[in-house]
Amino acid sequence: MACAYCQNYKFSQKGEGREVDFSELAQFMLELQSLDCHNINLVTPTHVVPQILVALNIAVSKGLKIPLIYNSSGYELPQTIKMLEGIIDVYLVDMRYADKKASLKYSDAPDYPKYNQESVIEMQRQVGVAEFDNNDIIKKGLIIRHLVLPNNISGTRKIMKFIAEKISTETYISLMSQYAPYYKAQQISEISRRITSEEYEEAKKIMDEFGLYNGWTQDSHGLEHLAGVHIKSNLKEK
């Protein structure tokens, strides 16, 4: 993907960063485990899956055992996800667009909804509904992120309907309000602003309408704004 509003565009589209070899990547994973990290979070890994698998083979042989998270924009070939069965413990995946014209215009991602939906179905088949330990740390399962975009460009209703009908109403969803017009977005009128409180409230109502109560919302303007507020905790408080 090449999102016009990507906040990490320097890495995703400008080539910043440096290459590492298999052994160095494996060592990074082992060092994170030695620091008592809860998991290995593989962020936007799709284009280097073969290299990651080689590094994992090295790391596992040297004692890597914490869960692996596949943290993805959701623009995946289903056959790539099928290759990862039995390897990935947690899929943390975006469902960004319900309309292929929008995905092409704003992220240069042709047919995003088709590949996204097929891949999310495969992810659900592999790992199921998210499971957490006694400290609320995820151990296994699927979490779907949905970034609410201005002017309903993300197609929230269609996406929530798909999740409820094709995945599970028990699915954990992170409903994100954090959109900001980074990178090229300020030159595109319909995405040149933050979302309104009304737009976000409408997205929350849609989740309720489809019986999707597991997950997190971003209602706070303090430190919790990006971390999210647990939906079930809110329900208990009410």
pLDDT for 219: 72
Q: Is residue 172 part of a domain?
A: yes
pLDDT for 26: 98
Q: At 236, which helix (H) or strand (E)?
A: helix 231-237
pLDDT for 236: 44
Q: Is residue 25 part of a domain?
A: no
What 8-state DSSP symbol labels residue 86? Answer: T
Query: Cβ contacts of residue 238 below 8 Å, gap of 6+?
Result: none
Task: Report how many domains make up the chain.
Answer: 1
Closest CA to 60 of 27, 102, 13: 27
Q: At 90, which helix (H) or strand (E)?
A: strand 90-94
Q: Is residue 232 part of a domain?
A: yes
Query: Cβ contacts of residue 123 below 8 Å, gap of 6+?
Result: 70, 81, 91, 93, 142
Q: Is residue 8 part of a domain?
A: no
Q: Is residue 227 part of a domain?
A: yes
pTM of the full structure: 0.91
pLDDT for 225: 53
Q: What is the pLDDT of residues 53-90, one digit of tens each?
A: 999 999 999 999 999 999 999 999 999 999 999 999 99
pLDDT for 238: 39
- For residue 148, give its domain range: 36-237
Q: What is the pLDDT of residues 187-216, one digit of tens each?
A: 999 999 999 999 999 999 999 999 999 999
pLDDT for 102: 98
Q: Is residue 204 part of a domain?
A: yes
Q: Is residue 1 part of a domain?
A: no
What residues of the chain score a pLDDT lower than 50?
222-224, 236-238
Distance of CA 153 to the CA centre of its chain: 18
Q: What CATH number did the domain enclosing 83 receive?
A: 3.80.30.10
pLDDT for 234: 52
Q: Is residue 2 part of a domain?
A: no
